[in-house]
Chain A
């Protein structure tokens, strides 16, 4: 057991050295699509894959969207975070086969307000997940869909 721990520590140290030396970039452009999170089948799985666990519901996370979407193929969503040091904003649709619609990584210069248009197969809760100061927060809003966006 101790032996194994030692090995693990050595491997971690080795990886750390590689990272420090620039061999393993923490965020390699165009090679970081989070397959696990995007292919998650349940909200819990998606949140877990994003490292969010059970995010705290926060009034500082806002979803600006109409209550009823006439066309589920094009549902405009604005996701806003009022939390300081917002690093990431993700938009998830509870009842879509592909639950995670988008995840935006922001810089300190980026104002945490993003607008996108998503597809919704049916009436569902839309969840906006925010990572700020290393912690996760979320807000949810039900959007009613009169015409689904996945049938074509």
Chain B
């Protein structure tokens, strides 16, 4: 399930800015543990975002995205009270969706 995302969305001059902070290890598969064994890759590889039920962004990520990923982007339109919904899926098939209202 992962830990909850922090989503902030605010509208100004007809543009909604969406900022998302996700909780995820984003393990690259390059690192080794104390015994020299490779730590398997574990990272978010798909992110989708909806504003008011409409898809506004679909992203594919690799392990080069930092631990606890941050994402910010802007969308034309939107109004206070609109629902922002963000979903991620990781390479182990785990997924999480969180929502916030535009302020």
Interface size class of B (residues with CB under 8 A): 35 or more
Q: Is there a chain B Cβ closer than 8 Å to A60's Cβ?
A: no
Is A110 a contact partner of B66 (Cβ separation < 8 A)?
A: no
Other contacts beyond A34-B60, A103-B59, A110-B75: 17, CB < 8 A:
A30-B89, A33-B60, A75-B66, A76-B70, A97-B28, A98-B28, A102-B64, A106-B56, A107-B56, A109-B54, A110-B76, A111-B15, A111-B73, A114-B57, A116-B72, A119-B64, A152-B31
Give B19's nearest chain A residue, CB to CB.
Answer: A115
B: residues with CB less than 8 A from A are: 15, 26, 28, 30-31, 45-46, 48, 51, 54-67, 69-77, 89, 91, 95
Is B66 a contact partner of A149 (Cβ separation < 8 A)?
A: yes
Chain B interface main SS type: strand
Is A102 a contact partner of B61 (Cβ separation < 8 A)?
A: yes
**CA gap between A122 and B64 in the complex, in Å:** 12
Between-chain CB contacts (< 8 Å), 8 pairs: A29-B46, A29-B58, A103-B61, A109-B76, A111-B73, A114-B57, A117-B66, A151-B31
Is B31 a contact partner of A114 (Cβ separation < 8 A)?
A: no
Interface size class of A (residues with CB under 8 A): 35 or more
Given contacts A74-B66, A110-B74, A110-B75, contact A150 B28 (CB under 8 A): yes
Q: Is there a chain B Cβ closer than 8 Å to A96's Cβ?
A: yes
